[in-house]
């Protein structure tokens, strides 16, 4: 850090907090000491929450937080706290709930004014300089002259916050009586049958929703539903939301045809989309999906991978344009003149393939590359072979990758988040499962070892973050849930027992430190974490599946593997608890719906015992079988699903349900033919 630093954020490691370290605002990081100062000085708290790739966070910083006049108002009258929502999602959840109660909407930057004890009394997202100064002075006058009004409002708001995200123990419903058909019909009213995804704009990719719909459509043999899923995946892969030059997906599309993205690239989106496209490839064998997986993992490998084996969080939407001004998308877009210069004689073919025309034009004479034809159709129209087109695409991408090197790169958020790394472990494991590429296995194992050796304490407690060689912040429920899920994925492609042993250790820690016996759900924060004004239970699936739904699926898997009835009973009860809400808004519970198929439809434990167990598991993984747990051993084992099933010099296949297995099969074909899906 340079000597220009004016505030305490210079001592932090978060890239987002460090972005604000030279603001004239006396920012401080979240912590007990800040609340003590606010109480001692009798000042309101001003809590500003954002993240490093947030476009409007940058705009508000430039207009307000870098301004001396604004800083004086903030410093004179408030104790100012900056929070990285990705480091402290617990803080973000509480105050986002408060903002939604106050205004009916949310977003970032999330700006909250609170009493010295942390209870909120006002909130907003982006405001310009004049609006910001005006509202802060009004709040300060109110605090000086009518503090009882603010205290009364804080009391009411606190009750409202504590009533949100509550889950009751449900003893009435049964999973078997749940009506999938009506639920999916209700959901389907939102489907955009022309462009895929949901109707309207903006369009978020919501990978978990399509993962469930792919599985459900396949298991009930619903061609219409499968066609919609593939329409969505095709359109996303064709759209400008996918970076056709460097690979990887941006955050969301601002339009209906997936053309113009919000240009930030997040690790968690790309990890989930790799897993989704892997399974979609198994189900359909579409070459496009393999291309998406390889190009996305190529992007992650080049731009988001740390030497430790962990993965960075994000690339910013904004980068410096030719005038040295931060501009959203400046790194990613092209003018027609640029492309003519780079492509030369190839430009007409390139322009037709990527729509350098009215269909692909954006603003300020910029183009965002977008496709609208399958390669086979394009080749037929232009009388070129698939192989020829493939070579041309490689050349075009290489040419434009080199051209981009002269542009200012987007800023990198280099913090390593445990939960998102769990998703990335699973993504690489899924890539290896489907495509057998050893580089994918190597990346998955390297990250798994990094997490197990660096981010897990001896007692099973996880760290949340790893930045510049230092682990920090006690983990939240999503850290445990996604890492366990990642470790289970590693086990299923290696049959290495240590990943399951570690998963079970983490599960036990969660029961001791996060579990609420009264509801059979898990709190988002542990018993030992810093106390907030409200303790939340995260159970609604969103762009990321909820930590409770992932944990319930982990309990189902581990309960089945270990024949642990307590795990299975807990997973079942957790699912029952959320079912009353599912019918009202199924897209918000897609991961729960996926779990419910495990209970309501056939689910199999496929056990492979013998010298060729690993090789045969790889052959099995060429089939799309979403309703299975895969396990195996190359030696005698006392694990419940392996016990007394190993026969020397033979490789046997057992297809089991709830631990009960029939006679073994001696070949894979017969084993797979015994599986039912519905």
Separation of alpha carbons 670 and 133, rounded Å: 73
3 has pLDDT over 50: no
How does pLDDT run across 310-344, given as a tens digit for each residue? Answer: 999 999 999 999 899 989 999 999 999 999 999 99
Instruction: Tell me how crowded residue 379 is: count the other CB atoms within 10 A of its CB.
Output: 17
pLDDT interval class at 225 (50, 70, 90): very high
Which residues make Cβ contacts (< 8 Å) with residue 215, sequence separation at least 6?
279, 594, 597, 626, 627
* pLDDT at residue 174, as a whole number: 78
Alpha-carbon gap, residue 122 to 127, rounded angstroms:
13
Mean pLDDT estimate for the chain: 95
Please say if the pLDDT value at position 528 is more than 90: no
Kindly indicate the confidence band of residue 5, based on its pLDDT and cuts at 50, 70 and 90. Answer: low
Q: What is the mean pLDDT of residues 20-31?
A: 96
For residues 510 and 584, is the Cβ–Cβ distance under 8 A?
no
Q: In CATH terms, are 8-163 and 180-318+413-600 the same topology?
A: no
Q: Do the Cβ atoms of 392 and 349 come closer than 8 Å?
A: yes
| 608-646 per-position pLDDT tens digit | 999 999 999 999 999 999 999 999 999 988 899 999 898
pLDDT on residue 2: 43
Per-residue DSSP letter, 169? P
CA 277 – CA 281 distance, rounded (Å)? 6
Residue 466 has pLDDT above 80, yes or no: yes
Residue 529 banded pLDDT, cuts 50, 70, 90? confident
- The domain ranges of the chain are 8-163, 180-318+413-600, 332-406, 604-673
- What is the pTM (predicted TM-score) of this model? 0.96
Helix axes 438-450, 477-494, angle to 10 degrees: 140
Tokens, residue 135: 């509202």
Band (241; pLDDT cuts 50, 70, 90): very high
Burial class (CB in 10 A: 0-12, 13-18, 19+), 315: buried
Cβ(280)–Cβ(229) below 8 Å: yes
List, for residues 96-151, the tens digit of each pLDDT value: 999 999 999 899 999 999 999 999 999 999 999 999 999 999 999 999 999 999 99
Q: What pLDDT is attached to residue 166?
A: 82
Write the class of the CATH domain 8-163.
alpha beta
**CB of 74 closer than 8 Å to CB of 106:** no
pLDDT confidence of residue 15: 94
Q: 1: pLDDT confidence band, cut at 50, 70 and 90? A: very low
Structure letter (DSSP) for residue 319: E
Model pLDDT, residue 136: 97
Enter the CATH code of domain 180-318+413-600.
1.50.10.10
At residue 531 the predicted structure's pLDDT band, cuts being 50, 70 and 90, is confident
- pLDDT tens string 161-199: 998 878 889 887 778 778 888 999 999 999 999 999 999
């Amino acid at each position: 850090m340079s000597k220009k630093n004016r505030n305490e954020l210079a001592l932090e490691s978060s890239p987002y907090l460090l972005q604000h370290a030279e603001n004239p605002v006396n920012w401080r990081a979240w912590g007990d000491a800040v609340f003590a100062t606010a109480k001692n000085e009798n000042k309101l708290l001003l809590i500003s929450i954002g993240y490093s790739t947030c476009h409007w966070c940058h705009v508000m910083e430039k207009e307000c937080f870098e301004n001396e006049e604004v800083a004086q108002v903030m410093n004179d009258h408030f104790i100012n706290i900056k929070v990285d929502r990705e480091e402290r999602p617990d803080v973000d959840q509480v105050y986002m709930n408060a903002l939604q109660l106050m205004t009916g909407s949310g977003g970032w930057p999330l700006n909250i004014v609170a009493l010295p004890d942390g209870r909120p009394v006002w909130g907003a997202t982006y405001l310009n300089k004049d609006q910001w100064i005006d509202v802060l002075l009004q709040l300060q006058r109110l605090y000086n002259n009518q503090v009882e009004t603010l205290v009364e409002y804080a009391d009411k708001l606190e009750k409202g916050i504590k009533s949100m995200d509550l889950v009751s123990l449900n003893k009435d419903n049964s999973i078997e009586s749940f009506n999938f058909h009506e639920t999916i019909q209700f959901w389907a009213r939102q489907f955009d049958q022309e462009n895929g995804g949901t109707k309207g704009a903006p369009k978020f990719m919501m990978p978990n929703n399509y993962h469930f719909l792919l599985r459900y459509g396949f298991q009930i043999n619903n061609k219409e539903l499968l066609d919609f899923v593939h329409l969505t995946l095709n359109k996303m892969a064709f759209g400008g939301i996918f970076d056709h030059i460097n690979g990887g997906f941006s955050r969301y599309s601002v339009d209906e045809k997936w053309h113009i993205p919000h240009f930030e690239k997040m690790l968690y989106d790309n990890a989930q989309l790799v897993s989704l496209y892997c399974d979609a490839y198994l189900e359909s064998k579409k070459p496009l999906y393999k291309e998406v997986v390889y190009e996305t993992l190529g992007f992650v490998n080049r731009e988001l991978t740390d030497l430790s084996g962990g993965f960075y969080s994000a690339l910013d939407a904004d980068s410096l344009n030719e005038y040295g001004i931060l501009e959203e998308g400046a790194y990613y877009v092209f003018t027609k003149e640029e492309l003519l210069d780079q492509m030369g004689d190839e430009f007409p073919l390139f322009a037709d393939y990527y729509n350098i025309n009215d269909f692909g034009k954006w603003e300020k004479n910029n183009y965002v590359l977008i496709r609208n034809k399958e390669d086979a159709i394009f080749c037929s129209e232009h009388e070129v072979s698939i192989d020829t087109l493939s070579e041309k695409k490689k050349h075009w991408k290489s040419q434009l990758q080199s051209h981009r090197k002269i542009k200012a790169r987007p800023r990198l958020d280099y913090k390593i988040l445990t939960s998102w790394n769990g998703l990335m472990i699973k993504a690489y494991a899924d890539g290896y499962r489907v495509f057998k590429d050893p580089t994918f296995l190597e990346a998955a194992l390297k990250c798994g070892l990094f997490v197990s050796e660096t981010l897990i304490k001896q007692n099973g407690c996880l760290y949340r973050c790893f930045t510049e060689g230092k682990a920090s912040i006690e983990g939240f429920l999503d850290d445990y849930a996604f890492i366990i899920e990642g470790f289970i994925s590693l086990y299923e492609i290696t049959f290495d027992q240590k990943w399951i042993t570690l998963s079970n250790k983490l599960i036990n820690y969660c029961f001791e430190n996060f579990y609420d016996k009264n509801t059979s759900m898990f709190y988002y924060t542990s018993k030992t974490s810093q106390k907030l004004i409200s303790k939340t239970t995260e159970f609604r699936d969103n762009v990321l599946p909820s930590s409770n739904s992932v944990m319930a699926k982990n309990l189902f898997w581990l309960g089945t593997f270990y024949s642990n009835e307590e795990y299975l009973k807990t997973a079942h009860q957790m699912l029952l608890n959320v079912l009353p809400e599912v019918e009202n808004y199924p897209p918000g519970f897609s991961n729960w719906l996926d779990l419910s198929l495990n209970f309501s439809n056939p689910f199999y434990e496929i056990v492979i015992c013998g010298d060729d167990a690993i090789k045969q598991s790889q052959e099995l993984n060429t089939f799309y079988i979403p309703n299975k747990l895969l396990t195996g051993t190359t030696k005698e084992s006392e694990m419940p699903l392996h016990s007394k099933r190993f026969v020397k010099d033979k490789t046997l296949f057992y297809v089991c349900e709830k631990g009960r297995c029939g006679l073994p099969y001696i070949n894979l074909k017969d084993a797979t033919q015994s599986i039912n899906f519905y």
